[in-house]
Amino acid sequence: PALFDRFEEDFDLYRLKPYNAGADYQSYTSNDPMTYADKIISWLSSAKLIIKLPQDSDERDMRDSNSGKERFVIGVLAAADERLGRRLQASVRNQLAFYITVRGWYCGRALLMKRPDGHSFVDITPWDPLHAAWDTDDDGIAWACYKIRKTARELKSQYGVEDLVESKEAQSGDGVKGFEVYDYYDRETNRVFMADRELKAPMRHGSPNVPVFAGTVGSTPYIQSDMQADTIKYHGESVYKADRALYERQNL
């Protein structure tokens, strides 16, 4: 799809994909796309986060209740960041700041999970919009699915899969290691599967809705045009919206 092509092209800008001026020419790649995006990401990540419930009553009990809810949200975000840190991943805010800036879309999973031993933990996991899919109806997100690559060792640890071989992990043909795993949610259940097997049978996730959030950057709605077949690539723009063509001319 045109939107996914734009995702990839914008990421090439961010990672400073080397410019090739051709044979017998010296090539120079401008670093402006990375420094510009990193500045926006830094602003989003370091901005003061204010969690506040409106005080609709002067009653002491109501104020104490709202204060407790605010502290709960602060604790939930801290617990989510701690869990991500143990997995050597950036915090929720830092990851979302990157996707908002470079992708122009953001999404992820948010659940309060319970382990088999009864202990609960906070699971807020940002997703890369390039590998996420969902559909909506009048009540919001109806279902969502995230594709992620996992190693044979991860699949054995998480799902007890024994017959996968590490040397055959490059399943996609592009040399990227890992087996493709699909994490699917609807309004009642969650199931995990691969192309050739089910890893987790449908199980109730306990959330009253699909436990997935998603959104776009900017105010541009999805425009349906009679002149262009695919206009979704203009919906949810990245920070490079006005500069893509300029960066191409800056390179020498």
pLDDT tens readout for residues 55-91: 776 777 788 888 889 999 999 999 999 999 999 999 9
C-alpha Rg value of the chain to the nearest Å: 22
pLDDT tens string 25-60: 889 999 999 999 999 999 999 999 999 887 776 777
Q: Tokens in use for 87?
A: 């997995």
Query: For the residues 94-101, what does the mean pLDDT come to?
Result: 97
| SS3 assignment, position 125 | strand
Query: For the residues 94-110, what does the mean pLDDT come to?
Result: 97
Helical residues (DSSP H) of the chain, grouped into ranges: 2-14, 32-46, 60-86, 92-98, 152-159, 244-250
| Sequence-distant (≥ 6) Cβ neighbours of residue 109 within 8 angstroms | 123, 124, 125, 127, 146, 183, 185, 211, 212
User: What is the phi-psi region of residue 210: left when phi exceeds 0, alpha when psi lies from -120 to 50, beta otherwise?
Assistant: beta
* Interatomic CA distance for residues 151 and 179, integer angstroms: 6
**Count of beta carbons in the 10 Å neighbourhood of residue 188:** 14
For residue 173, how far is the Cα from the chain centroid?
A: 23
Evaluate whether 79 touches 112 at the Cβ level (below 8 Å).
no
Between 168 and 156, the more confident residue is 156
pLDDT tens string 110-150: 999 888 788 889 999 999 999 999 999 999 999 999 999 99
So what's the pLDDT on residue 111? 93
* Interatomic CA distance for residues 41 and 97, integer angstroms: 5
pLDDT tens string 185-222: 999 999 999 988 999 999 999 899 999 999 999 888 88
So what's the pLDDT on residue 123? 93
